[in-house]
Structures are given as C-alpha cells and as structure tokens.
Structure 1
C-alpha cells in the first residue's frame, strides 16, 4: 500500500514539474518573440535610415583632382557610411531613360551637374543633424547646391520613435505578464511541498538550508523551460527566414546571441526570485496557516 502511495506521489510530482516546465517554456517563447521583434526593429530602422542620402551638386569648374580630394575627405567623416559619385553624363543617361528621349541632343547642352551622394550612418539621420551637415557643405567652395529629402527625414524619425515607444510598452506589458505567470507556476509547485518545508523547519533546519534545494529545483525547471523555448524560437526563426529572407535572421548572429542570452537570463532571474520568495512565505507561516 505504501509503495503504491509513493508511486502515486512521484507521478504527481513529475506531472507538476512537467506542467511548470511547459508553462515556463510557453511564456519564455512569447517573451522571446517580442524580444526578437524589438531587437530586429532597431536593425530594420537603421537600415531604413541608412538609405537616406545628402546630395552635393558640384560646380562646373571643379576639376577631377578636386573632386577626388573631396571624395577622400568625405570618406573620413564620422557620418559617412558610403559615397556615390555620379557624373553629369551618367545623370543625363538616367534622365533620358526615364523621359524616353535624349534631352541633351534636344537642348544642345547638358544642364546637369556632377554630384556626390553621401549615404549617412543611422546615428546621424535626424532632422537637426542632417540640416547641420547640409548647412556645412552649402558653404563649401566646390558645392553648387545641397539637396536631401527633408520631409522623408522628419517622417522617418517621427515614425521610428513612435513605433519604438509602443514596442517598448508592449514588451514591458508582456514582460510583466511573463513574470506573473512564471511566478504563479513556481508558487504552485512550492505550495504542494509546504508541509515538507514546515517539517524541516520544525526539526531545526535553517531557512537558507531549506531554501537551497528548492531554489536549485526552480532554476533547473527554468533552464529546461528556457531550452524548450529556445528550441521553439529556433524553429520559428528558421521558417520566418525562409519566408522573409530579407530580414536575414539566421545570419544576424549578434541579435540571435542577445536573444538567447536574454531568454536564459530571464528564466534564471525569475525562477530564482520566485522560488526564494515562495519558500520564504511558507517558512514565515505558522503550522495552522498552512491549511488555508
């Protein structure tokens, strides 16, 4: 009879552990998906910003040597990601193709100018910074005119800030839910052993001695849940990359590293704290309070 009861208790314990691990894994999976969106949104925002270019239209009397010196000086600037030189002849070909006719032959001269497109680094794509760069080159002796899409820069900056703000709010909200759900799962697991905790305390075991195995059990369950969550995220990331290859999820090792470490860290911290406070609560209860 005793062996049957022991077997029943072990099955209940395994079932309890299994449900806790699955609960933790599901919560961490959802948190990981949100973390991936947050991390990747920053990368996508930077990619969009780095498509912004400031165009320098050069004066007609600027020599090839002077143009080359200007290009070399631009490459040394902190804000420069890439520069593209477009000669007036190349520009004429582009415009002629768009118009469907050779306007140079019609006009008898090429009115276009040599230009340099400066593609900026993401950190410098903000209205005030782009304007500062534009004003600076407007005073350059080689530059006839500086042009950039002011409306695009303002719209891009405003929308990215707005989206980032709401993403942070959503991640904070779901992060709080994740903490509460994992905490509840751990507390239920500890609740089933509350009499064991009180028995150990009554025979003279210290609080730290009693807490230690429970904390290690909680952390172990958290790590198992984290491994399952990471497995689910790996499958999800693989299929997303197959469908939307432009995101380059599988080759973005930095984002994947941050995501993996974040999931493991969240699992460790939440399960450790939840187990600590749950055991502490039952340690502080009187024996007759355990039944309520």
Structure 2
C-alpha cells in the first residue's frame, strides 16, 4: 500500500515538474521570438538608414588629386560608411540613358558636377546629425553644394522611433506576462510541498536551508525549459531564414548569442526570484493557514 502511494506521489511530482518545464519553455519561446523581432528590427532599421546618401557636388576647379585627398580624409571620419565617386562625365552618361537621348549634343557643355555620394553609418542618419554634417561640408573649400533628401530622413527617423517605442511597450507587456506565468507554475509546485516546508521549519531548519533545494530545483527546471525554448527558437530561425534569406538570421552570430543568452539569463532570474518569493510566503505562514 505504501509502495503504491509512493509511486503515486512520484508520478504526481514528475507531472508537476513536467508542467513547470513546459510552461517555462513556452513562455521563454514567446519572449525569445519577441526578442528576435526587437533585435532584428534594429538591424533592419539600420539597413534602411545606411542606404541613404548625402551627395557632395564638387567645384569645377577641384583637381583629381584634391578629390582623392578629400576621399581619403572622409574615409577616416566616424560617420563614413562608404563613398562612391561619380565624375561629371559618368553623371551625364547616366542622365542620357534615363532620358533616352544625349542632352549634351544640344547643350554643348556638361552642366553637371563631379560628385561624392557619402553613405553614413546608421547612428548618424538623423535630421540633427545630418544637418551638422551638412554645415561642416558647406564650409569646405572643395564642395560647392550638399544635397540629401531631408523629408525622407525626417520621416524615416519618426517611423523608426514609433515602431521602436511600440515594440518596447509590447516587449515589456509580454515580459511581465511571462514572469506572472512562470511565477504561477513555480508557486503551484512549491505549494504542493508546503507541509514539508513547515515540518522542516518546525524541527529547527533555517529559512535559507529550507529555501536552497527549492531554488536549485527550480533553476534546473528553468534551464531545461530554456534549452527546450532555444531548440524551438533555433528551428523557427532556421525556417524563417529559408523564407526570408535577406535578413541573414543564421549568419548574425552576435544576434543569436544575445538572443539565446538572454533566454538562459531570463530563465535563471525569473525561476530564482519566483521560487524565493514562493518559499518565503509559505515560510511566513502559520500552520493553520497552510490549509487555505
């Protein structure tokens, strides 16, 4: 009879642990997917920003040697990502191709300027910083005119800020929900052992001594749940990369390290905190309160 009861208890315990692991895995998977969207949205936004060019139209008197000197100095600037030089002859050829006829034949001269297309690093593509860079180039002796799409920069910056704000709000909400769900699962697991906790306390065990095995057990379950969530995320990322290869999900090792590391860290912090609070609650209860 006792053996049958022990088997029943062990079965219940395994079932409890299994439900905790699944709960943690599902919640961490959801948080991981949201984290992937949040992290990759920054990369996508940066990709759009780095496609915006600032064009420097050079004065006619500027020699090829001076242009090379200017290019070399620009390459050393922190805001420079890449530079493309377009001569006035190349620009005329491109315009003629777009128009479908050679406009130089009836103009007689080439009115276009030699130009440098300056592509900036993403953090410098904001209305304020680009205005500062524009003022700096307007004072340059080689530059006649600075041109870039100001309305596009303003619109791009505003839209990215809006999207980032709402993603942060959603992330915070789901983060709170995940903590509540994991906390509930762990509290139910600790609740089933509340009488054991009180018995150990009555025979003189300290709170830290009683709490320690519960915390370690929860951390182990949390890490198993995190491993399951990481496997799920890995499969999701693999298939997403097949359908949207332009995002380079599998080749972005830094993003994957942050994502998987964040899942493990979240499981550790949430399980530790939830177990600590749950055990503390039952440690502070009176014996007659354990039945409610």
> Are 2:230 and 1:230 aligned?
yes
What is the aligned partner in structure 1 of residue 201 from structure 2?
201
Residue 273 of structure 2 corresponds to which residue in structure 1? 273
SS, match of residue 102 in structure 1: coil
The Cα of 1:49 is off from its aligned counterpart by 1.1
Matched, 1:99 2:104: no
Q: Matched residues in 2 for 1:278 and 1:2: separation?
A: 30
SS at match of 2:85: strand
Give the distance between the partners of 2:257 and 2:88, measured in 1 at CA. Answer: 46
Q: Secondary structure at the match of 1:83?
A: strand
Count of residue pairs brought into register by the alignment: 292
**Corresponding residue for residue 170 of structure 1:** 170
Question: How far is 1:126 from its partner?
Answer: 1.0
Q: Using the alignment, how far apart are the partners of 1:111 and 1:175 within structure 2?
A: 59
Give a deviation string over 1:77-125, Cα, whole Å, max 9, x none. Answer: 1211111100111111211111111112232222211100111111111
SS at match of 1:51: coil
What does residue 50 of structure 1 align with? 50
Stretch deviating more after TM superposition (16-25 or 108-117): 108-117
Aligned to 1:71: 71
CA shift digits 1:23-44 (9 cap, x unpaired): 0000000000111111111111
- Provide the aligned C-alpha RMSD in A: 0.9
SS in 1 for 2:146: strand
Post-superposition offset of 1:176? 0.2
Calculate the TM-score normalised by the size of structure 2.
Answer: 0.98
1:2-13 mapped onto 2 (5 Å cutoff): 2-13=2-13
Q: Deviations over 1:260-287 (max 9, x none)?
A: 1110011000100111111111111111
Deviation at 1:71, TM superposition (A): 0.8
* Inter-partner Cα distance in structure 1 for 2:270 and 2:205: 25
**TM-score w.r.t. length of structure 1:** 0.98
CA separation in 2, counterparts of 1:134 and 1:201?
A: 72
The match for 2:143 is 143
Gaps (5+ residues) in structure 1? none
CA distance in 2, matches of 1:274, 1:265: 14
Give the Cα separation in 2 of the matches to 1:104 and 1:236: 56
**1:209-241 deviations in Å (ceiling 9; x for gaps):** 111110100001100100000000000000011
Cα distance in 1 for partners of 2:58, 2:252 equals 39
In the alignment, does 2:61 pair up with 1:40? no
Counterpart position of 1:114: 114
Query: Which residue pairs with 2:242 in the alignment?
Result: 242
